[in-house]
Homo-oligomer: A and B are copies of this chain.
């Protein structure tokens, strides 16, 4: 899940740019930055970051122009526009298309991070493996509906908490692989948070209760003694 998350910040106002970079770095993004449109566009095209935070009012080349150029280059980067509500707002209404989201200045770092996370979730969102037409993933006797945050077992539906869902998605991504607890922690929880490895066991326990036919004798979520866990979809 934690693929290289590289962000390019294109913002001329120094204070704001630094604040953004700081916040992003502490969220463990790789951060690139540029102070004007031209430099930003060059960096974007050269590096192809996963996400671009784009101010609209920029020296040398305004944000609209940058966005258009980026899209013409078929760059797959996500773009979140940072716009002031003032003058350009009307133009935003007409021009902002091709961006994935927009945040109106002044905004709180918290709000921005929430939107970035939402974007990531939508991106990783679907599911790794084969999902059926309704967007669900089958695991043995049950189906997981990631969009709905729940597992479906016949007629019965059980909710999944966010951690449970993220953990399950992680296992799905690494199907058949024995994964040690430390890696699970850093990949699913992130390096900022540092719970005990016991926490994982508890979550595995809860997942087993929800996806295993017989939680006491797990088929899909197996223990690899001295290492961690291994996940399988087939029965």
**Per-residue B-contact encoding for A215-233, CB less than 8 Å = 1, 0 else:** 0000000101111001000
> Whole-angstrom distance between the alpha carbons of A94 and B194 in the complex?
20
The reply to whether B96 and A106 contact each other, CB–CB distance below 8 Å, is: yes
Number of copies: 2
CB contact under 8 A between A178 and B147, given known A104-B194, A226-B162: yes
Chain B contacts for A106, CB-based, 8 A: 92-94, 96-97, 102
Whether B13 and A94, one on each chain, are in contact in the complex, defined by CB atoms closer than 8 angstroms, is yes
**In the complex, are the beta carbons of A134 and B149 less than 8 A apart?**
no
Q: Which residues of B contact A150 (CB under 8 A)?
A: 230
Cβ A84 vs Cβ B95 within 8 A: no
Q: Are A177 and B161 CB-contacts (below 8 A) given A106-B93, A109-B97?
A: no
> How many residues does chain A have at the interface if contact means C-beta atoms less than 8 Å apart?
60
The A1-33 residues at the B interface (CB cut-off 8 A) are: 13, 15-16, 19-20, 22-23
Give A183-233 interface residues, CB cut-off 8 Å to B.
183, 191, 194, 222, 224-227, 230
Residues of A within 8 A of B (CB): 13, 15-16, 19-20, 22-23, 71, 84, 92-102, 104-111, 114-115, 118, 121-122, 124-125, 133-135, 145, 147-150, 159, 161-162, 176-178, 180, 182-183, 191, 194, 222, 224-227, 230
